[in-house]
Amino acid sequence: MTALAAILRAHIAQGGPMRLSDYMALCLGHPEHGYYTSRDPLGAAGDFTTAPEISQMFGELIGLWLAQTWLDIGAPERVVLAELGPGRGTLMADILRAGAAAPGFLAAVGRPAMVEISPVLRARQAEALAGRDPIWFDRAEDIPAGTPLLLVANEFFDALPIRQLERRKGRWRERVVTVDEGALRLACGPVVPWDEAAPDGALREVSPASEAVAAWIGARLATDGGAALIVDYGYGEPPTQGGDTFQALRGHAFTDPFAAPGQADLTAHVHFGALARAAKGARAWPLMTQGALLESLGLTARAQALLRAVRDDAAADAVVAAHRRLAHPDEMGTLFKALALTGPRAGAPPGFG
Ligand code: SAH
């Protein structure tokens, strides 16, 4: 039994079954035994690999997106460049390197703002961004207001807690985590007020934590202007059938989310439609697939430029493979989507026109 499993069982013995969202929040963010708070989960030796870790091309294209957006909003003298859940800091490092191509952009940015709960990953980010002097925040809401905001989040929202509601005998019920014969497992809990008709067996996932962050982004963009780019796996609107996307990953393979709490990555697909609606005050542009966005930002040309610079076949193969992984429909190209939010009066951001 993991240390966290014992804590969760004691918690349930005292307070009764807990919502799935509370379980997820504790598994990922428990100050001592949480999955993210206690390790660096990324890379081949970890549990999953993300787009910025696949290739520098991803972060460079996003860096150009951010720098162009800065130009499009009139190249303000000061801007807050923020990243939510920056992992190893690779994406921000690539963004800043590419962003240097726009004269004045880095000076306007100053110190990048990093929203990160993990002390382990904060240390990795400090290494990756040595000389850039980042400022860390526990929550997005702590980032000071008053200057335009340029925000990026890659594979951040999938890590935020979800609730699951299940339709049974004409009623919506909360899915809860309980202890059964000594093991943690999912159960059908109390009736909840949820105003939607659906056949029995229907399942809904909602992420109040995600919607709260989106609401903050919307409010900030409405008052201060700027733009946000949110990239993750998910859908515009959930499917009418099925819909259970709660999953656990360990060592690059799916595993039982209740078997070893705190040791596996827990995620759910991102409901982009809900994020766009929660971001009140901002303008939400039509959702794009990651593949289509990266191609329209010049992924093929970037890959060709890298290919001209490589010295051996193995390096060339790696560029070709990375291009495919990022953009091909059988890889990350269509499962991953990009949502752009801007200030209410802004024009279409790069790639979204
Ligand atoms: N964006 C990175 C890492 C993705 S993993 C990449 O693409 O490689 C998810 C990241 O979000 C990690 O850095 C994790 O520690 C952070 N994170 C997870 N939950 C968080 C929360 N509630 N608040 C802030 N950061 C969080």
The string of pLDDT tens digits covering residues 26-66 is 999 999 999 999 999 998 889 999 999 999 999 999 999 99
Is the C-beta atom of 70 inside 6 A of ligand 1? no
Probe residue for ligand 1, chosen from 47, 50, 122, 156 as the CB with the greatest number of ligand atoms within 8 Å: 156
- Is residue 125 included in any domain, yes or no? no
How far is it, in rounded angstroms, from Cα 216 to Cα 218?
5
Please report where in the chains the tokens 């990009």 appear, as a residue.
Answer: 338
Contact 314, 201 (CB under 8 A): no
Mean pLDDT, residues 245-251 taken together: 96
Domain count, the chain: 1
Q: What is the pLDDT of residue 289?
A: 98
Please give the structure tokens belonging to residue 59. 């972060």
Q: What is the pLDDT of residue 262?
A: 96
Q: What is the pLDDT of residue 30?
A: 96
How far is it, in rounded angstroms, from Cα 263 to Cα 255?
10
CA angle, 122 as apex, 120 and 127 as ends, to 5°? 100
- Is residue 247 included in any domain, yes or no? yes
Residue-wise pLDDT for 156-182, tens only, equals 999 999 999 999 999 999 999 999 999
Mean pLDDT, residues 116-137 taken together: 97
- Domain of 184 in residue numbering reads as 1-34+161-213+241-284
Output the CA 83–ligand 1 centroid distance in Å: 10
Q: Length of the chain in residues, anyone?
A: 353
Give, using CA atoms, the residue closest to atom 16 of ligand 1: 85
Output the CA 85–ligand 1 centroid distance in Å: 3
- CA–chain centroid gap for 223, Å, is 24
What is the overall mean pLDDT for the chain?
96
Give, using CA atoms, the residue closest to atom 11 of ligand 1: 85
Identify the band that residue 2 occupies on the pLDDT scale cut at 50, 70 and 90: confident
Whether the per-residue pLDDT at 240 is higher than 90: the answer is: no
Mean pLDDT, residues 308-333 taken together: 96
Residue-wise pLDDT for 259-284, tens only, equals 999 999 999 999 999 999 999 999 99
Whether the per-residue pLDDT at 139 is higher than 90: the answer is: yes
pTM, two decimal places = 0.97
Q: What is the pLDDT of residue 353?
A: 87
- Is residue 7 included in any domain, yes or no? yes
User: Please, which residues have CB within 8 angstroms of residue 240's CB and are 6 or more apart in sequence?
Assistant: 202
Please give the structure tokens belonging to residue 195. 């105003």
Output the CA 295–ligand 1 centroid distance in Å: 25
Is the C-beta atom of 89 inside 6 A of ligand 1? no
Is the C-beta atom of 117 inside 6 A of ligand 1? yes
Whether the per-residue pLDDT at 148 is higher than 90: the answer is: yes
Identify the band that residue 294 occupies on the pLDDT scale cut at 50, 70 and 90: very high
How far is it, in rounded angstroms, from Cα 345 to Cα 343?
6
Q: What is the pLDDT of residue 166?
A: 96
- Is residue 196 included in any domain, yes or no? yes
| DSSP 3-state of 342 | strand
Q: What is the pLDDT of residue 242?
A: 83
Give, using CA atoms, the residue closest to atom 10 of ligand 1: 85
- Is residue 26 included in any domain, yes or no? yes
User: How many other β-carbons are positioned within 10 Å of the β-carbon of residue 201?
Assistant: 10
Please give the structure tokens belonging to residue 207. 């992420």
Is the C-beta atom of 38 inside 6 A of ligand 1? no
With a pLDDT cut of 70, the percent of the chain lying above it is: 100
- Is residue 153 included in any domain, yes or no? no
Ligand 1 atom nearest to 115, measured from its CA: 24
- Is residue 112 included in any domain, yes or no? no
181: left (phi over 0), alpha (psi -120 to 50) or beta: left
| Strand ranges of the sheet holding 265-267, from the earlier edge strand across to the other edge | 253-255, 247-250, 265-267
Lowest average pLDDT, out of 74-78, 105-109, 289-293, 307-311, goes to: 307-311
Closest CA to 158 of 121, 113, 90, 210: 210
- Is residue 135 included in any domain, yes or no? no
Fill in the amino acid letter for 143: I
Output the CA 314–ligand 1 centroid distance in Å: 31
Contact 282, 229 (CB under 8 A): no
